[in-house]
Amino acid sequence: MAAAMPAHAEEAIGDERDIVVTAQKREQRLIDVPQSVSVVSGEALENIQATSFADYLKLVPGLQLNQTTPGFGRLVLRGVNTGGVASTVAVYQDETTFGSSSGLVNGAILAGDFDTFDIERIEVLRGPQGTIYGASSMGGVLKYVTRKPETGSFEVRARGSVEATKGGDESYLGSAVVNVPLGETLAFRASGFYRDFGGFIDSIGTGGSDLESNINSSKSYGGRASVLFKPSEGFSIQLATYLQNLKTDASGSVDSDPSTGRTLYGRLTQSQFVPEFTDVRYRVYSGIVDADLGFANLVSATSYSTLSQSFRGDLTTQFGGLVEAVFGTPNDFFQGQLTRVKRFTQELRLQSPENDSFEWLVGAYYTREKGVIDQSFNAVNPGTLTPVAGLPLLGIATINSRYREIAGFANATIHLGERFDLTFGGRYSENKQSAIQVSDGVLAGGPNTLPRARSSENVFTFSVAPQFEISDQATIYARVAKGFRPGGPNVLAPGAPPELGTYGSDSLISYELGVKAETVDRTFSIDIAAFHIDWKDIQVFGQVNNFGVNFNGGKAKSDGLEFTTVLRPTDGLSFSLNGAYTNARLKDDTPSLVGGLSGDRLPYTPKYSIGANADYEWELGGDTKAYVGASVRSLSKQPAGYDLAFRTANGRQRYLPSYEIVDLRAGVDFGPYSVELYAKNLTDSEGKTSLEAPANIPLGAAGTGVIRPRTLGVTLTAGF
């Protein structure tokens, strides 16, 4: 059932080899959950040297990442993506939802890319999760389950790695964790990490740009600390905090052919006039109370989180010539932007104990968000960051937004005999939003304060999932579920039509049929699901007078098949194969400002993706073990964003080329110490993850996100 090997259970439920998940907010065997769920264990994450989204995509069928910069990425599941600014995949850390449900603070492209060190497991729930997880989970949920403090043992462990990347600088990675029992009822756990990734993209002077090597270096660092107080088996309190900074000097975008997406100039280059940077900061504070009341468990989950992104974006190609033409001053030009979300959440749940006939869960949820986007447009003397003297204010704009949601939800499972279950649930939610924009400067049409824009919605979502247990090792299920994404107010550009003042929520209905099975000895397992999705009022994004505006389009649909199979023929040897077929396309034309036509594929979803993994572990004597492993991921070509002019001229939208990635790994574990060798992207594939065209690049080139070139590394681990 797992998407990776080995994937160990958090704790035993019936059998110590059972994989346990909390997809339905209660501990269940993975095989008993009537929906498509992939699990990647913490051990598997370390085994493949994973630190971010990009490292474990090969283990999860149907999960795609559209990204150019660390911390600046869009997750896509089952093709549910039209390029809008509000997220379709919700990201959770334990009980805490992260990011934004609003379409006013770029939540879709700022998915929480948490470091994976000291993670118990990652759960990926495919398909709409609106009943239990609420807004903006219409494509699915990615959930990080962290390791809890343990009262029974003292633990210290540290890992350090060095990497060499073809054509780039070296990288250095380190992490450490400590678990300290503070008595029989109290424990403390803390972990920290530091990642320094060398750059591998050069600026080679194209169109008069800079001459500089390896401009896209990045750093990620932070840590987690938690305290668990558990005076009895029926009561616990856990307090936790998580901090992470992701700092990047330039994006991972390279100059490419706008028609094919293939790299120009024979190497990975980016035309830099103004040095870019991105600084993303995560802060998550949470408290979870779990109390056994006898007839039910009461769970209270409280959190406060912040997401902050600041960046400098080079716009010299787009605006530098215009400023020179108007004011007669040669210049480089850049945009500065700060995006910030502050979010408070509170969830209360009552959930019944396990029961042979009826299990239930009821809950209430509240969230409040405050968002801001603060932009400035600046002309500087070429080759410097010194402002050009004598110019008027070119442009500033600030959007302040508010989002509030309150919801009630319930979920239940009826056991109709020993083999048949019916799980169903519903959620009713209400959200209210407001936003106000203040702008000034010659590029913004002078000083302007727009009236406060407001919106409100009431939404009901549901899920129904019958499941038949063929045997203790095989189940078949069906699931029908609704998901939604909130609409909201638009802060309109000067001269924009007033009817664009708000946009509505979009929603979808998903139909899924799946089978989960494994042999009695657990040497073989398979998880396969087919789905059909009807999506209406799709949210899309366009430009009005150089200001971004959210629209509602018509309809879209997605059909597909996903599978994961695992084979363990002998002790220590395991193989897994996962894949997805996804045919996601528009049923109606989008608004003309967006550029999609009926029949066009939905962006950044390949029709075919497949991942294969193999690992072999054997004993060398005593406590010493060795292992070798390999992974391969293959993606077919995938559509980029919509462009009506290109579509009209070429009869199709732009596509990114197909690619394959090969990873190898080997290591020796001496007990308290281990050494691991690995190669990522062994064949040096130029996999493309995004495409922007037209772009702010000389000579009409497009910008495409690219995966890291071939990287060789070594990791040392010590612990006791």
CA distances from 184 to 79, 188, 190, 235 (A): 48, 12, 18, 14
- Give the per-residue pLDDT at 57: 86
Chain segment 139-153, per-residue pLDDT in tens: 999 999 999 999 989
Provide the pLDDT for residue 28: 87
d(CA 70, CA 196): 12
- Give tens-digit pLDDT for 362-397: 999 999 999 999 999 999 999 999 999 999 999 999
Answer yes or no: is pLDDT of 18 > 90: no
Please report the pLDDT score of residue 490 as a whole number. 78
Q: Which domain holds residue 473?
A: 20-719
Closest CA to 10 of 42, 33, 55, 50: 42
Residue 494, pLDDT score: 61
Q: What angle do CA 450, 453, 459 make, to 5 degrees?
A: 165
Q: Pull the structure tokens for residue 440.
A: 């000034």
According to the model, what pLDDT value does residue 3 have? 42
Asked, for residue 101, whether it belongs to a domain, the answer is: yes
* pLDDT the model gives residue 135: 86
Domain assignment present for residue 537? The answer is: yes
The alpha carbon torsion through 227, 232, 236, 239 (nearest 10 deg) reads: -10
pLDDT of residue 278: 96
Q: Would you give the DSSP letter of residue 80? A: -
Model pLDDT for residues 578-595, shown as the tens digit of each residue: 999 999 999 999 988 888
Reported confidence tier of residue 451, pLDDT bands at 50, 70, 90:
confident
Nearest to 64 by CA among 481, 73, 218, 5: 73
pLDDT grade, residue 492 (50/70/90)? low
- What does the pLDDT average to over 477-503? 82
Query: Mean pLDDT, to the nearest integer, of 299-320?
Result: 95
Q: Do 460 and 408 meet the contact criterion of CB atoms below 8 Å apart? A: no
Q: Return d(Cα 76, Cα 65) in angstroms, integer.
A: 6
Determine what percent of the chain is predicted with pLDDT higher than 90: 78
Identify which of 417, 501, 453, 485 has the alpha carbon closest to the alpha carbon of residue 134. Answer: 485
The pLDDT score that the predictor gives to residue 103 is: 84
Q: Who's near 581: CB < 8 A, 6+ residues apart?
A: 560, 561, 562, 607, 608
H or E element: which one contains 390?
none
**pLDDT at site 545:** 66
Q: Which of 51-65, 183-197, 248-262 has the lowest mean pLDDT?
A: 51-65
In a domain, 6, yes or no: no
- Residue 229 to residues 120, 236, 301, 400, 536, Cα–Cα distance (Å): 19, 6, 15, 39, 47
3-state secondary structure 645-691: HHHHHHCCCCEECCEEEEEEEEEEECCCEEEEEEEECCCCCCCEEEE
Considering its fold, how many domains does the chain have in total?
Answer: 1
Tally of CA atoms within 13 A in the half-sphere of 627 that contains its CB = 24
For 129, other C-beta atoms within 10 Å of its C-beta total 28
559: its two tokens: 């059909």
Q: What is the mean pLDDT of the chain?
A: 92
- Cα dist. 122→112, 166, 417, 421 in Å? 13, 30, 32, 26
Tell me, yes or no, whether 531 lies in a domain.
Answer: yes
Query: What pLDDT score does 504 carry?
Result: 86
At 509, the pLDDT band (50, 70, 90 cuts) reads very high
149: DSSP letter: P
What mean pLDDT is predicted for residues 156-185?
Answer: 97
Of 30, 26, 21, the C-alpha closest to 526 is 30
DSSP 13-68: SSSTT--EE-TTSS-EEGGG-SS-EEEEEHHHHHHTT--SHHHHGGGSTTEEEEEE
pLDDT at 71: 84
pTM: 0.93
- Side chain identity at residue 371, one-letter code: G
Q: What is the pLDDT of residue 17?
A: 64
- Check whether 4 has a pLDDT greater than 80: no
DSSP 8-state secondary structure symbol assigned to residue 216: T
Strand partners for 113: none
Cα separation, 373 vs 109, whole angstroms: 14
Structural domain contains residue 608: yes
Q: Are strands 655-656 and 502-503 parallel, antiparallel or unpaired?
A: unpaired
Secondary structure (DSSP) of 240-281:
EEEEEEEEESS-SEEEE-TTT-PBSTTS-B---SS--EEEEE
Q: What is the mean pLDDT of residues 89-100?
A: 92
On whether residue 153 sits in a domain, the answer given is: yes
- 265 pLDDT exceeds 90? yes
Measured CA to CA in angstroms, residue 328 lies from 320, 322, 379, 390 at distances of 11, 9, 12, 11
The two three-digit tokens of residue 366, written as one number = 């509240």
Q: Are 539 and 507 in contact (CB under 8 A)?
A: no
Helix (H, G, I), strand (E, B) or coil at 201: coil
> What's the confidence (pLDDT) of residue 1?
39
Rounded to whole angstroms, the Cα distance separating 379 from 330 reads 9
| Choice among 11-25, 135-149, 544-558, 642-656 with the minimum mean pLDDT | 11-25
pLDDT in tens, 322-364: 999 999 999 999 999 999 999 999 999 999 998 889 999 999 9
Query: Is residue 8 predicted with pLDDT exceeding 50?
Result: no
CA 443 to chain CA centroid, Å, is: 34
Per-residue pLDDT of 626-670, as tens digits, reads 999 999 999 999 999 999 899 999 999 999 999 999 999 999 999
In a 13 Å sphere around the CA of 546, the CA atoms on its Cβ side amount to: 9
CATH code for position 371: 2.40.170.20
Q: What is the 3-state secondary structure (H, E, C) of 98-137?
A: ECCCCCCCCHHHCCCCCCCCCEEEEEEEECCCHHHHCCCC
Reading across the β-sheet that carries 96-98, which strands appear in turn? Answer: 37-41, 119-126, 140-146, 89-93, 96-98
In this predicted structure, the answer to whether residue 12 has a pLDDT above a threshold of 60 is no
The reply to whether 4 falls in a domain is: no
Q: Which residues contact 542 (CB under 8 A, 6 or more apart)?
A: 548, 549, 551, 591, 593, 594, 595
Q: Which residue has the higher pLDDT, 135 or 343?
A: 343
What integer pLDDT is reported at residue 639 of this predicted model? 94
- The answer on pLDDT for 491 being more than 80 is no
According to the model, what pLDDT value does residue 452 have? 85
Q: Please give the sequence-ordered ranges of beta strands (E in DSSP) within 381-503, or none if there are none.
A: 395-415, 420-440, 448-449, 453-471, 474-485, 488-489, 502-503
Residue in 424, 668, 564 with CA at minimum distance from that of residue 4: 564
3-state secondary structure (DSSP) of residue 327: helix
